[in-house]
Chains A and B, each alone.
Chain A
Amino acid sequence: EAGVTQFPSHSVIEKGQTVTLRCDPISGHDNLYWYRRVMGKEIKFLLHFVKESKQDESGMPNNRFLAERTGGTYSTLKVQPAELEDSGVYFCASSQRGAANEKLFFGSGTQLSVL
């Protein structure tokens, strides 16, 4: 069974450009999460989808970030325009039921560098 897949693994862009990150969750997992880790700090929650609906987007930093999950399958996270402080590792995770005691399955992350 394929795990959570993220693309690209690395992205280097200039300030002001646009970047789109993609996440393919495990098939059948209705719950999809985006997290971000800025250098050496804690992994912070960005948002949570249940199927194609945003359940909680309280962690999104500002309106330069847009997440979508059309059709309830893969998700994209677009940053437009990118700023220096957006650099970090963006993780996607998925789970089947979304229960509080359920483990998350993580992708290997996208390392975003904004220069």
Chain B
Amino acid sequence: AQSVTQLGSHVSVSEGALVLLRCNYSSSVPPYLFWYVQYPNQGLQLLLKYTSAATLVKGINGFEAELKKSETSFHLTKPSAHMSDAAEYFCAVRNTGGFKTIFGAGTRLFVKA
């Protein structure tokens, strides 16, 4: 069965530092891949998605993710963290033709002033 692993339940960075949130998926054939963000007291919102076009995907708020098939990874990065990036981030996959989205356990990002 498809699975998603997010390394690190908590990540803390200083404002202005690089953000790197890790995600690995289990399938050898890249399905559709997503990063969602949840701000406090809100629902999950889509940050970006990979849908078999370019392997480097740009999303909202300066985030991007790169699909590396050899590593089955889809890590999320942002060059410079902002205080407003503090939230919980979820990596998710969906197989071609499937309706079920499989989520990772989430990574909570803390941004220090």
Q: How many residues of A are in contact with the other chain, CB < 8 A?
A: 28
CB of B32 within 8 A of CB of A100, answer yes
When distances are taken between beta carbons in the complex, the residues of chain B under 8 Å from A40 are: 9, 105-106
CB of A43 within 8 A of CB of B103, answer yes
Q: Which residue of A lies closest to B39 (CB)?
A: A108
**Chain B nearest Cβ from A30, distance in angstroms:** 12
Within 8 A of A (CB), among B32-50: 32, 34, 36, 41-46, 49
When distances are taken between beta carbons in the complex, the residues of chain A under 8 Å from B95 are: 100
When distances are taken between beta carbons in the complex, the residues of chain A under 8 Å from B25 are: none
The answer to the question of A42 belonging to the interface, with a C-beta cut-off of 8 Å to chain B, is yes
**Chain A nearest Cβ from B78, distance in angstroms:** 19
The answer to the question of A22 belonging to the interface, with a C-beta cut-off of 8 Å to chain B, is no
CB-CB contacts of B71-113 with A at 8 A, as 1s and 0s?
Answer: 0000000000000000000100011111111111110000000
When distances are taken between beta carbons in the complex, the residues of chain B under 8 Å from A58 are: 100
Q: Which residue of B lies closest to A48 (CB)?
A: B99
CB of A45 within 8 A of CB of B102, answer yes
Query: Could you say which of B4, B32, B45, B97 contacts A42, with CB atoms under 8 Å apart?
Result: B4
In the bound assembly, the distance between CA atoms of A9 and B34 in angstroms comes to 26
When distances are taken between beta carbons in the complex, the residues of chain B under 8 Å from A107 are: 43
CB of B45 within 8 A of CB of A45, answer no
CB of A106 within 8 A of CB of B4, answer no
The answer to the question of B14 belonging to the interface, with a C-beta cut-off of 8 Å to chain A, is no
Q: Which residue of A lies closest to B104 (CB)?
A: A42
When distances are taken between beta carbons in the complex, the residues of chain A under 8 Å from B97 are: 100
In the bound assembly, the distance between CA atoms of A104 and B43 in angstroms comes to 10
CB of A106 within 8 A of CB of B43, answer yes
In the bound assembly, the distance between CA atoms of A16 and B81 in angstroms comes to 46
Chain A interfacial positions (CB closer than 8 Å to B): 3-4, 31, 33, 35, 40-45, 48, 55-56, 58-59, 91, 93, 98, 100-101, 103-109
